[in-house]
Structure 1
Amino acid sequence: MKGIKIKVVVQAKKENVAGWPHINFNYEKETAKIMDCVRAENPEVIFDVVKYTSVSEAERDYEADRAVYDGVLVLLMTNWLKIDLFYARKAKDGIPCAIADVPFCGSGSTLAVTSPTLRTEKLPVPLVASRDYRDIAWLVRALVVSAQIKKAVILVIKNNPDTETMAAVAQNWGCHFIVKSAEELMKLFHQVSEKEAQVFAEKWSGAALSIVEPSAGDIIESARMHIAITKLMEECEADAVTIDCLELSYFEGYENNRHMYPCLSYFQMADQGKLGVCEADIDSTLSSMLILYLTGRPGFVSDPVIDTSSDEIIYAHCVACRKVYGCHDSRTASFHIRSHAEDQKGASVQVIFPGGDKLTTINMSNKDGWACIHSATAVGNEGLDAGCRSKLVASCAAQKILENWMPMWHRVTVYGNYRKELINLFKLKGLEIIEEDK
């Protein structure tokens, strides 16, 4: 978050002017309460707070502000001045904007003007109205995460990358892509000695509940792969990586018919708060970045299965994370080291997920301009060998999700209820939002 600057605009009446909240209201005192919450949730962000009493003041400063600020938060602390609408209408091509009504201050114009205008003009601006100022703090996090993504670099390892989706993501979010081939990755792989790889192999093997199918050689290869991936990320100064693991394994992209998967590498990255995503899936990588930057928790990319007989959804994949509450949380799930399920080769993980937590699941199609979201509650794990290794079972509105499922298989799940916070992020980019469980 370092280097991110947000401008906070307080919409206020001039002195001795009657109206909500009341004449000569102490705007500074109430703003200080709000900013205490905002800064607590966003401690590394720089905030500049100004009070405007007319649109002309916002117009006067806007062009200079574009070169300085990553976002604007408008606090509606009185009615009818329409300063919020000035920023909202500029947001698509200008400074990203979020608006917060401070109840009993700007509620009249929020309901009568702001909300209908955002909706009818389809402006990319999230709006909250809450007496719990932590909601405003989390609204600001949407601006912060958007700014972080804009500065991010994603490494894609794929021989024939999906340039159309990459272009759409770059257009929508501003992040940058670096593409490398399997050959470039394998060059680094061959530079890693077995002795160097042994450190990770022993670490993973020692922490696992069991090693079922993989040989010691399979785990060493995974460790060599991990070191090669991290070296390539360092060379590219990448914030995330996604590899076309299935294509490279199935079609000998790794040479000599090697069936190597980055599952254990991504597992290790998640332990350290870093990000690796399967199958060179650009949209899922972006969704995973949003989750990690917003919540500090890893996203679990999966191939879901729906069971309407039990009102459950099973999130299944061979890449999973054991630090589901974040890398700094002491709670850690147990895991087995298994083969990759579909070809029964290489090494992957089977994580035993905790139950009882609320879950939030998303993905998006940047090419088509939509994002989807649904909620569930973790209840346990599925032990079948069919499908992928890690299988998180969750109770949900299964029939609704089945009927409303948007056209891609992958979904990204995070432990915790972050529904409204993620929806605010999607609104910031003007995406059509499909709530699959409604």
Structure 2
Amino acid sequence: MSHLPLLPASATRRQFLTAAAGSAAIAARPEAASPVPAYAAALMPKVRTNLLLVYTHPDPKIQGWPYQGYDYETRKAQTTARLRAACPDVEFSVATAQTAAEAQALLEAHPAVDGFLVYLYGIPSDAPDVFAYSGRPAVLVDDLYGGTGRFLGLYPRALAKGMPVTGVSSTRFEDVVEAVKAFEAIKKLRSSTLVDVTERDVARSVELFRQSLGLRVRPVSAAELNAAYEKADRQEARRWASQWISQADRVVEPSPEEIVRSGAMYVAMRELMARHQAQAIAVDCLHLFYGGKLGAYPCLGFFQLNDDGLVGACEADLDSAATMLLMSYLVGRPGYISDPVIDTSKNQVIYAHCVAPSKVHGPAGPRNPYHIRDHSEDRKGAAIRSLMPLGEMTTTLRLVPSRRCVVLHQARAVDNIDEDRACRTKLAAEVRDARKLMEDWDFGWHRVTVYGDHRLAVIHLTRLLGFKLVEEG
């Protein structure tokens, strides 16, 4: 590999670009401009979710809610058509159950579906109970002024018994669609692979994630990643370095040569993901880099993967990597891992890390400004300071399979803090009660932050997984 001249931190962007690749290479971008790059789309799970859509109600000749003689058939046809239009990746098998016996027959006849979407259209009917207590994932939907009496008595009891059920009681059709999307996210996760680059023994974690989430974790040695790094096309690495530099508002410490090394690491990680048909990669970056077992930090590569709709996760944190992957399937937005810092004087939490996306609203969304910095702890390599949008709600969570729970809090983004200590990206967000958040803290340091108010979507997801929701703060 030819060496690039080292430039001072005060160098202009033009100087960086010229040193990194030259104007011709800048024009030849590695990917054509598109919301989801072709390489990322090719790795996405090609699966359809299979649900049994069940309408429960009494014989229309019987008195009850909504009323005697109600036209259930027309209403069912309308609802089914709307669901199929709104959820094109879901295969709905449609059935009706008026009694518990009919519901039990349906349950036994559909052992392979991914779950049940149960509309409570009228009462009296004991059919919904069979699905709620089956131990299989189910969404119960109260058709207001129809199944309400049964729904309100059934749903809380099923939750109390630990059943994997969630409920919708709303006149807004999109709320039902949101619950169905939780089924889709879970199905995609169970069809996904996570590459874990580490020298640690992760056999127990591999089995835990397989059993609890259906996620395949593929351990890969540092030697395998380094071999891919050594073979990485340096011309392609230069093109990526040029793209990152040209899009950055500032390049502070790293030299063009250092950023090219980051480009080579990104090319290597993509090669590993393609080899294993993986949608996510986690690297034990600090342990390996500090130990001289990693050719370059993967931070800029993670940044690009997360912007493109895939997952690059720091420190081989499998809980956070799985959280990022699941949320990308659920809401189509990247998450980023952080080491949260709590400032009670300002009622804020600061999400600090050396990697964060620049497309927080998803691959098709706008790009926010970012700086290329060195990695904070050791002042080496290349990392990202992302200046993320302010005034928006964020949802921060962590999936904890070992304790079968999801921990969650929310905060509104208020500042991008410029502080030389600790990690480069520091998004400050205002929480409901910073002291309570501090006193509630559990489940490790890392959290994953996603832009948007996704609390209800996470609740649906958590309950269909059969996990417990822990709301901190």
TM-score, normalised relative to structure 2: 0.87
Report the more deviating stretch, 169-178 or 32-41: 32-41
After TM superposition, the structure 1 stretch with the greater mean CA deviation from structure 2, 346-355 or 114-123, is 114-123
CA displacement at 1:36 relative to structure 2: 5.1
Q: Which residue of 1 aligns with 2:471?
A: 435
Q: Deviations over 1:38-73 (max 9, x none)?
A: 345422222222221122223223334123x22211
| Corresponding position of 1:195 | 235
**Equivalent pair of 1:166/1:282 in contact (CA under 8 Å):** no
Q: CA deviation at 1:24?
A: 2.4
Q: CA separation in 2, counterparts of 1:421 and 1:108?
A: 25
- 1:356 pairs with 2:422: no
Determine which of 237, 259, 273 is the counterpart of 2:277. 237
Counterpart secondary structure, 2:60 = coil
Q: Distance in 2 between matches of 1:189 and 1:88?
A: 51
**Counterparts of 1:38-187 in structure 2 under 5 Å?**
38-67=83-112, 69-91=113-135, 95-112=136-153, 114-187=154-227
Describe the SS at the equivalent of 1:220. Answer: helix
Shift of 1:364: 2.5
Please report how far the alpha carbon of residue 37 of structure 1 lies from its aligned counterpart in structure 2 after TM superposition.
4.9
Structure-to-structure mapping, 1:229-378, within 5 angstroms: 229-254=269-294, 258=295, 260-329=296-365, 331-378=366-413
Query: How many angstroms does 1:385 deviate by?
Result: 1.1
Q: CA deviation at 1:84?
A: 2.3
Native 8 Å contact 2:209 2:217 kept in 1: no
Which secondary structure state, in structure 2, belongs to the residue aligned with residue 126 of structure 1? Answer: strand
Q: Does the CA contact (< 8 Å) of 2:100 and 2:129 recur in 1?
A: no
CA contact (8 A) 1:291 1:297 kept: yes
Alignment partners' CA distance in 1, 2:156 and 2:243: 56
CA contact (8 A) 1:222 1:265 kept: yes
Deviation, structure 1 residue 79:
2.7
| Aligned counterpart, 2:446 | 410
Q: CA deviation at 1:266?
A: 1.2
| Equivalent residue in structure 2 for 1:422, among 450, 453, 458 | 458
Distance 2:310 2:183 in 1: 21
Superposition RMSD in Å? 1.6
Q: Which runs of 5+ in 1 are unaligned?
A: none
Mapped to 2, the partners of 1:323 and 1:304 lie a distance apart of: 21
The residue that corresponds to 2:65 in the other structure is 20
Number of the residue aligned with 2:50: 5
Q: Is contact 1:165-1:366 (8 Å) kept?
A: no
For 1:224, the aligned partner's letter is A
Deviates more, 1:58-67 or 1:118-127: 58-67
Partners of 2:332 and 2:62 in 1: CA distance? 44
Quick one: structure 1 residues 402 and 36, their matched pair in 2 at CA, closer, same or farther if it must change by over 3 Å?
A: farther
**Larger-gyration structure (1/2):** 2
State the distance in 2 between where 1:332 and 1:32 align.
Answer: 42
1:215 deviates by 1.2
Give the structure-1-normalised TM-score. Answer: 0.94
The answer on 1:399 being equivalent to 2:435 is: yes
Aligned counterparts of 1:387 and 1:183: Cα–Cα separation in 2: 29
Alpha-carbon separation, structure 2, partners of 1:24 and 1:150: 44
C-alpha separation in 1, matches of 2:201 and 2:71: 56
Q: Distance in 2 between matches of 1:278 and 1:325?
A: 20
SS of 1:303 mapped into structure 2: strand
Alpha-carbon distance in structure 2 between the residues aligned to 1:424 and 1:193: 44
CA contact (8 A) 1:34 1:133 kept: no
Give yes or no for contact 1:37–1:134 (8 Å, CA) kept in 2: no
Cα separation, partners in 2 of 1:321 and 1:431, compared to 1, 3 Å = same
Partner amino acid for 1:77? Answer: Y
Residue 386 of structure 1 corresponds to which residue in structure 2? 421
SS across alignment from 1:338: strand
Looking at structure 2, the residues matched to 38 and 416 of structure 1 have their Cα atoms a distance apart, in angstroms, of: 24
The 3-state SS of whatever aligns with 2:449 is strand
Q: Is the 8 Å Cα contact of residues 320 and 399 (structure 2) preserved in structure 1? A: yes
Q: Deviations over 1:389-430 (max 9, x none)?
A: 111111112112111112311111111101011011111122
Which has the higher mean CA deviation after the structures are superposed, 19-28 or 297-306? 19-28
| SS of equivalent residue, structure 2 residue 69 | coil
- Aligned-partner Cα distance in 2 for 1:434–1:292: 21
Q: Which digits, 9 at most, give the CA deviation of each residue in 1:296-335, with x for residues without a partner?
A: 0001211110100001111011110000011012x21011
In 2: Cα distance, 1:239 partner to 1:322 partner: 19
Task: State the alpha-carbon separation in 1 of the partners of residues 89 and 413 from structure 2.
Answer: 33
Hey, what does 2:6 align to over in structure 1?
none
| Percent of residue pairs bearing the same amino acid type | 35
Whole-angstrom distance in 2 between the partners of 1:211 and 1:82: 65
Could you give the per-residue CA deviations for residues 187-220 of structure 1, whole angstroms, max 9, x where no partner exists? 1111113222111011111111111111112111
The one-letter code of the counterpart of 1:87 is F
Distance 1:64 1:119 in 2: 25
Instruction: Please say which of residues 18-27 and 39-48 is displaced more in the overlay.
Output: 39-48
Task: Measure, in 2, the Cα distance between the counterparts of 1:354 and 1:118.
Answer: 40
Give the SS at the match of 1:310: coil
Q: Distance in 2 between matches of 1:267 and 1:36?
A: 40
In 2, Cα distance between the equivalents of 1:352 and 1:374?
21
Question: What secondary structure, in the 3-state scheme, does the structure 2 residue paired with 1:246 have?
Answer: helix
Matched residue type, 2:198: K
Amino acid at match of 2:55: V
Displacement after TM superposition at 1:121 (Å): 1.3
> Number of matched residues?
427
